[in-house]
């Protein structure tokens, strides 16, 4: 039997991981600029956490979770998203008592959703996300949106759009919910089973339906913007004014509701129309959540966050063609049995001095070893034959200048350092 990776998962081979490391580096650098610090939470949590926070009417919770019982019969779920775990850790570790607010956190890592695998959809995928906790201020919402846009631009993606909407506060949501119920009631028999479920539990979600999205009733449904309380309206207007002041371009889409239960006020998505991603790719999104921390047993703590799908961000990076950066500094070529011990010692010395180095272990001839030097893009080839061992010297070939010199053992490091500087 041939073993295969589970459906919906992929192996990231070495060239691909180089791209991921580059992406991770960019994400860490930008997080640092925004004073956002990394948090690492478990990859699995008790199932109840997701039911409670993501919401038991969401597609994620009803259809997509990897849930199993452990040996003690506890229900465990592989995390389908990152906010719930961060919020749980925030409460459990009493991070609400940190004096300087907002507490700004980022995470990155694998998430798991039992979806039908297709282009851009996997069952194990990765997200980078940011949560800013403890402050309710339109300026912070704008900071989160700016950070999201900065990331996408830093990756070189073009035609990036920031799309925003507001769901309003709890009172606005309640009024909107009633209006949605009245609106959808006559159409229930025409809408899918899930929409009928959502009608009872959370009618806002009907607007997120993938099955019925072309139904006439979707297009004529009441919009959140028409049911905002004065406070919610003022909050949203301030967000828009701040974005204008910062000259950040955005569009308001009154149909943007986002899938998760915990959102209120501002929700947003970053969409790219860059041809490398295909038509209209949603790279990520987020929004404000003001009751989640309380819901999980903490004190009233407003928050705003967003998450990006990292697979989509790596597409933007393209393949690395920086051979200089990827290549070795030195490849050691022992010729003959007696050269191996000295080669191993020099290899250890090179690495201890910060040179990226490797050697041949296959006891091959010179020609085969030089081919490896080429393939590894080594700057220097170090040739050590039995003669060199006896004379306590090595031959160093500069592969770009195609010149070769004999160097005493004790002078190897200074020789290479001066050559590399040059
Ligand atoms: P969500 O948490 O559903 O708002 O997703 C945020 C982002 O994560 C999306 O915009 C996608 O870029 C990415 N994403 C979500 N689900 C998947 C998946 N199954 N496979 C790959 N990327 C995903």
- Integer Cα distance of 134 and 299 in angstroms: 10
How many angstroms does the Cα of residue 404 sit away from the middle of ligand 1? Answer: 53
Global pTM reads 0.90
Of 211 and 139, the structure prediction assigns the larger pLDDT to: 139
Q: Using 50, 70 and 90 to split pLDDT, how confident is the model at 125?
A: very high
Q: Using 50, 70 and 90 to split pLDDT, how confident is the model at 263?
A: confident
Q: pLDDT for 230-258, tens place per residue? A: 999 999 999 999 999 999 999 999 888 87
Q: What percent of the chain has pLDDT over 90?
A: 77
- Integer Cα distance of 148 and 250 in angstroms: 12
User: pLDDT value at position 322?
Assistant: 59
Omega before 102 within 30 of 0, i.e. cis: yes
- Assess whether the C-beta atom of 287 lies below 6 angstroms from ligand 1: no
Mean pLDDT, the chain, as a whole number? Answer: 93
How many angstroms does the Cα of residue 152 sit away from the middle of ligand 1? Answer: 15
- Assess whether the C-beta atom of 121 lies below 6 angstroms from ligand 1: yes
CB atoms within 10 A of CB 171: 13
How many angstroms does the Cα of residue 321 sit away from the middle of ligand 1? Answer: 28
pLDDT surpasses 80 at 318: no
Ligand 1, residues 7, 83, 108, 125: which to mutate, most atoms within 8 A of Cβ?
A: 125
pLDDT surpasses 80 at 136: yes
Query: Smallest Cα–Cα separation from 61: which of 211, 218, 194?
Result: 194
* Weakest mean pLDDT among 82-86, 199-203, 282-286: 199-203
Of 13 and 324, the structure prediction assigns the larger pLDDT to: 13
Domain 14-169+229-317 maps to which CATH number in 3.30.930.10, 2.40.160.60, 3.40.50.300, 1.10.3210.10? 3.30.930.10
pLDDT surpasses 80 at 278: no
How many angstroms does the Cα of residue 130 sit away from the middle of ligand 1? Answer: 14
Write down the CATH number for the domain with range 330-421. Answer: 3.40.50.800
Q: pLDDT for 4-35, tens place per residue? A: 999 999 999 998 999 999 999 999 999 999 99
Nearest CA to ligand 1 atom 15: 309
Q: Where are the domains of the chain?
A: 14-169+229-317, 330-421
User: pLDDT value at position 209?
Assistant: 84
CB atoms within 10 A of CB 33: 11
Q: Using 50, 70 and 90 to split pLDDT, how confident is the model at 319?
A: low
How many angstroms does the Cα of residue 339 sit away from the middle of ligand 1? Answer: 54
The DSSP bridge partners found for residue 289 are: 303
Ligand 1, residues 110, 127, 257, 285: which to mutate, most atoms within 8 A of Cβ?
A: 127
- Assess whether the C-beta atom of 283 lies below 6 angstroms from ligand 1: yes
Please indicate whether the domains covering 14-169+229-317 and 330-421 agree at the CATH topology level. Answer: no
User: pLDDT value at position 201?
Assistant: 83
Provide the residue count of the chain. Answer: 422
Query: Smallest Cα–Cα separation from 356: which of 289, 273, 416?
Result: 416
For strand 264-272 and strand 281-289, is the pairing parallel, antiparallel, or unpaired?
antiparallel
CA atoms within 13 A on the CB side of 289: 26
């Amino acid at each position: 039997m041939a073993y295969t990776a589970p459906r919906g998962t992929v192996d990231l081979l070495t060239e691909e991981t180089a791209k991921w490391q580059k992406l991770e580096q960019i994400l860490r650098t930008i997080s640092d600029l925004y004073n956002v610090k990394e948090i690492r939470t478990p990859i699995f949590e008790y199932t109840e956490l997701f039911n409670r926070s993501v919401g038991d009417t969401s597609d994620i919770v009803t259809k997509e979770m990897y849930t199993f019982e452990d040996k003690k019969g506890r229900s465990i779920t592989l995390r389908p998203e990152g906010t719930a775990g961060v919020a749980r850790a925030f409460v459990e570790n009493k991070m609400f008592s940190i004096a300087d607010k907002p507490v700004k956190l980022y995470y990155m890592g694998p998430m798991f959703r039992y979806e039908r695998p297709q282009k851009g959809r996997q069952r194990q995928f990765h997200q980078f996300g940011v949560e800013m906790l403890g402050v309710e201020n339109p300026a912070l919402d704008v900071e989160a949106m700016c950070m999201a846009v900065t990331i996408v631009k830093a990756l070189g993606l073009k035609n990036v759009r920031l799309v925003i909407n507001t769901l309003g506060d709890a009172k606005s949501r309640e009024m909107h919910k009633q209006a949605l119920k009245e609106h959808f009631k006559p159409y229930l028999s025409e809408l899918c089973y899930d929409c009928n479920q959502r009608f009872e539990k959370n009618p806002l979600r009907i607007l997120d339906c993938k099955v019925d999205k072309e139904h006439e009733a979707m297009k004529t449904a009441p919009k959140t913007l028409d049911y905002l309380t004065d406070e919610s309206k003022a909050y949203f207007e301030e967000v828009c004014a701040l974005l204008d002041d910062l000259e950040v371009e955005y569009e308001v889409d009154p149909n943007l509701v986002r899938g998760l239960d915990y959102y209120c006020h501002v929700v947003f998505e970053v969409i790219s129309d860059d041809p490398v991603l295909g038509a209209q790719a949603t790279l990520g999104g987020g929004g404000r959540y003001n009751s989640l921390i309380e819901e999980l047993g903490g004190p009233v703590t407003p928050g705003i966050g967003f998450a990006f799908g990292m697979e989509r961000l790596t597409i933007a990076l393209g393949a690395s063609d920086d051979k200089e950066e990827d290549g070795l500094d030195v490849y050691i070529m022992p010729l003959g049995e007696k050269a191996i011990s000295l080669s191993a010692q020099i290899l250890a010395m090179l690495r201890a001095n910060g040179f990226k180095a490797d050697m041949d272990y296959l006891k091959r001839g010179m020609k085969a070893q030089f081919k490896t030097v080429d393939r590894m893009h080594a700057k220097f080839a170090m040739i050590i034959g039995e003669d060199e061992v006896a004379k306590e010297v090595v031959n160093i070939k500069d592969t770009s200048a195609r010149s070769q010199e004999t160097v005493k053992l004790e002078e190897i490091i200074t020789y290479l350092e001066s050559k590399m500087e040059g």
